[in-house]
Amino acid sequence: MSARNPLVVVGDVLLDRDISGRADRLAPDAPVPVVRDAERTERPGGAALAACLAAADGRDVTLVTALGDDEASCTVRSMLSGRVRLVEVALVGRLACKTRIMAGDRALLRLDDGDGHADRGTSRAQAAIAGAGAVLVSDYGRGTADVLRDALARRATRAPVVWDPHPRGGRPVAGTRLATPSFLEARHFARREAEPGDRPAGPDHGPTPLRLAAGYARRLLDLWETASVTVTLGEDGALLSQGGNPLLVPAPARARGDCCGAGDRFAATAAGRLADGELTELAVREAVEAATRFVADGGAHAVMTTSGAPAGRQPRASGRAHELVREVRARSGTVVAAGGCFDLLHAGHVELLQAARRVGDCLVVCVNSDASVRRRKGDGRPVVPAADRVRVLEALDCVDAVVVFDDDTPERLLDELRPDVWAKGGDYALSDLPEAALMESWGGQVVLLPYLDGRSSSRLVERASRGREARGRSVAARHPVGDDG
């Protein structure tokens, strides 16, 4: 049984293709970039991406969508096999396919093909919605939500419905718990009526994007009759309006990279947390954090394999880390990396990281995942989950990027990043480090740095545990339990 409550995703699927390579010159016959060493990948897109991301969170996911017999439909159907439960409605035409030409993590061109749309609902699709504990509507304007609108409206009166809208699609059904338009989508929907607040008061005093987002959200609350509207603001986080003053949820960090699929990551996380019974405010906060991590890890292009499954245990440097390493190398700088669990960040950690940063021109910190810490330290660890450890490390001025890896050692991640220097605390010896030979293979160097004696997360945990035991004995001595209980 899934550790998290199930979710039904209703919406339009796409087939996404990326052709990614390097572009470092222009063609001789036209002022266009030349993309070389291209790698071609395919992945499920649209509602299918949202469903796969929710399934990767450990959920039992049912995807209600329109598929046909065309090649793209068959490809997506194969990708989703074993990942989510499919409930299909008829597709008229060919499934939409979007192809991006990429240079690194930047799109140069997109080619769209296929004009298929949902034909009509089915009793099986209506039954899936009627029995859903929670529903995510991932509307890409191709009709699936439209043909099942009545079933969605009925379910919204009894279960949480999250609606991720599209300018070509319809408005959320009344009673929707949370609508999640982007800033541009919110502006599109709100401007169906006159929007006086969107006209600058003067050349230097126009409304800020935040004020505009708040105005759009208030208007959409009235237009859509939803319980709440969250306007996503990219790297600035999200603005949640439930009437009255809005709640701004800032992003935990400014993630740079490919943002394709970030809206699906946001909506899938919010819907899942509402399915688990969480308050809307907490669901939005977790969704902002999840979307930020998603972009930092390279977006949909990086985290989905050609089979449509999450990249899993393969370590991947975040998009920010890759970009940072490229930037530093381009100016002949020195890339430094350091690693560890960093379970309870203490003075020894801070001194080590500050010293490591002084060795070069940037510092990338490689952090063991929760599963990796548990394997190394035992079932009681980590005390602090990976997302919180990353957030604390990123707040240090000496840290330029943080990457989480799932292996017991960081060797595969180091092979991906190839730093110039791997810094470790002086409590290690070079003979203890399996990374030393790997670093030498590309001309890198392992260095040991002074480490404050007596500081360790394990000792802090032991000290706290002894303190709890002592307090327990003290309480028992003051309040003895007699034979009569």
User: Catalytic site residues?
Assistant: 264
The DSSP code for 183 is: H
- Cα separation, 440 vs 460, in Å, equals 34
Cβ atoms < 10 Å from Cβ of 150? 12
Structure tokens at 83: 């990942």
- Cα separation, 460 vs 469, in Å, equals 14
Residue among 151, 146, 152, 137 at smallest CA distance from 271? 137
Say how many Å lie between the first and final Cα of the chain, rounded: 40
How wide is the angle at C-alpha 262 spanned by C-alphas 261 and 263, nearest 5°?
A: 90
- Cα separation, 450 vs 352, in Å, equals 7
Dihedral, 232, 236, 240, 245 alpha carbons, nearest 10 = -140
Tell me the β-bridge partners of 363: 336
Backbone φ/ψ region at 89: left (φ over 0), alpha (ψ -120 to 50), beta: beta
- Cα separation, 241 vs 272, in Å, equals 19
Between β-strands 335-340 and 362-368, what pairing exists: parallel, antiparallel or unpaired?
A: parallel
Structure tokens at 472: 């327990």
Q: Residues near 50 by Cβ (< 8 Å), separated by ≥ 6?
A: 9, 11, 136, 138, 164, 264, 265, 267, 268
